[in-house]
Amino acid sequence: MMVRAVLFMTDLGYATKPADSDARQDDWKDRMKLKADRATLLKALAHVQNVVEKRNTIPILANVLLSVKEGRLTIAATDLEIALIEDVPVEAAQDGSVTAPAATLYEIVRRQPEHAQVELDHPGGDAPLALRAGRYATKLVVLPTDEFPKLDAGKLSHRFSIPAQALRGLIDRTRFAISTEETRYYLNGIYVHAAESDGAAVLRAVATDGHRLARVEEPLPDGAAGMPGVIIPRKTVNEIRKLLEDVTGEIAIALSETRIQFTLDTMRMTSKLIDGTYPDYSKVIPVGNDKILRVDTNDFSNAVARVSAITAERHKPVKLSVARDLLVLSATSPDQGTASEELDGEQVEYSSTPLEIGFQARYLNDVTEQIKGHVEFCFADGAAPTLVRAAGDQSAIFVLMPMRV
């Protein structure tokens, strides 16, 4: 009997298992047919095709798995790190399954007329997948369904729910600080864990790249107590944020020390976690910074944008010169010249000793984009880390390392 190797997923990894040719033929006997609304199908394909790795050496990972059962289509995609499954209601369905190239299928459906009905028909075997929409017709090359990785999340020990809005806030206010430096891989994600803040139990999200740090808290959901601290990879963070865009209500989260799973409406995303130890971030959060600058967030961020326009070099600092109720922002470019802007009066509150300090303009903007109303900068001196927060809000704090000016 002929033996071949088939990829399958265990705990979102992959290995090999033997499979005989007769089993392969059994998988290919069923005919799959369905008719779906173009808009509904397109939305689901847009979600799952984002997970597909654009460059990979395993052909099956460029495909999505289409499975029809009891009048419902399930679309699945994976890159062996993340798996996304979405259920789609369909009409005139016949149970069966097939794989198809994700990017090609998405583009074909996207280019159909807005109210088109899309029909998919796969007779089985190695026959192509037929797609029709009105007078349009095409046939797509398929790969065997038994080569598609098995999407098994394993045992997930902790389960809880969190409002979609709260999860969006945790992500939006931290992901900008995720490191892209691959050598410190344990910083390439958001560290999420249960903690205590001022006597209250909280769910805390932290990200840092060594130059800035973001720490955001939400009340600890029921069921999250005792959860392990986990590092959610950057790609997973970005993909789950896209899915949250149109979602309301509660998001179910299940996790273990190695995997995390999010369930949103008809979608379920499972991801590996980063295997590493997150550093003790509390050591870099300054305590006792008593020179407080309070400024309107919009006025400040607009001034930073105008002043920093003088230089195209992103690493050049914007200097903050602070005196009593006065803030002067300035930047210098050897090739372009200088720029400065003053904020005073009702825009600025500062009553401590004069101080000069510099920061990257992009870092200042990344932080102030997360703050509404008034922002507070808590300084120690012109060379020490600065604590940044929204006035009157202790749920989120940010730390910026200064630059020499």
Q: Is the pLDDT of residue 153 over 90?
A: no
Amino acid 123: pLDDT? 92
Categorize the per-residue pLDDT at 150 as very low, low, confident or very high, splitting at 50, 70 and 90.
Answer: confident
User: Tokens 């944020």 appear where?
Assistant: 241
Amino acid 313: pLDDT? 67
Q: Is the pLDDT of residue 405 over 90?
A: no
Give the mean pLDDT of 145-149. 93
Backbone angles phi, psi at 218, to 5 degrees: -135, 155
> 112 or 30, which is more confident?
112
Give the mean pLDDT of 314-331. 90
> 16 or 127, which is more confident?
127
Q: Is the pLDDT of residue 290 over 70?
A: yes
Amino acid 168: pLDDT? 96
Amino acid 389: pLDDT? 96
Q: How far apart are CA 115 and CA 39, in angstroms?
A: 7
Amino acid 7: pLDDT? 37
Q: Is the pLDDT of residue 106 over 70?
A: yes
Q: Is the pLDDT of residue 4 over 50?
A: no
Mean pLDDT of all residues in the chain?
A: 90
Amino acid 71: pLDDT? 83
Q: Is the pLDDT of residue 24 over 60?
A: no
Amino acid 8: pLDDT? 36
For helices 234-244 and 164-172, give the axis angle rounded to 10 degrees: 140
Q: Is the pLDDT of residue 331 over 50?
A: yes
What SS3 state is found at 370? Answer: coil
Q: How far apart are CA 55 and CA 43, in angstroms?
A: 23
Q: Is the pLDDT of residue 17 over 80?
A: no
Categorize the per-residue pLDDT at 314 as very low, low, confident or very high, splitting at 50, 70 and 90.
Answer: low
**pLDDT tens-digit readout, 265-280:** 899 999 999 999 999 9
Q: Is the pLDDT of residue 193 over 70?
A: yes
Q: Is the pLDDT of residue 175 over 70?
A: yes
Amino acid 27: pLDDT? 44
Lowest model confidence (mean pLDDT) among 30-39, 199-208, 254-263, 382-391? 30-39
Q: Is the pLDDT of residue 89 over 50?
A: yes
Per the CB < 8 A criterion, the answer to whether 217 and 396 are in contact is yes
Structure tokens at 328: 């002067």
pTM to 2 decimal places: 0.88
Q: In the chain, pLDDT over 90 holds for what percent of residues?
A: 79
Categorize the per-residue pLDDT at 91 as very low, low, confident or very high, splitting at 50, 70 and 90.
Answer: confident
**pLDDT tens-digit readout, 40-66:** 999 999 999 999 988 878 999 999 999
Per the CB < 8 A criterion, the answer to whether 224 and 160 are in contact is yes
Give the mean pLDDT of 255-259. 95
Q: What angle do CA 85, 90, 93 make, to 5 degrees?
A: 105
Per the CB < 8 A criterion, the answer to whether 269 and 83 are in contact is yes
Q: Where are the beta strands (DSSP E) in 186-229?
A: 189-197, 200-208, 212-219
Q: How many CB atoms lie within 10 A of CB 17?
A: 11
**pLDDT tens-digit readout, 220-236:** 999 999 999 999 999 99
Q: Is the pLDDT of residue 380 over 50?
A: yes
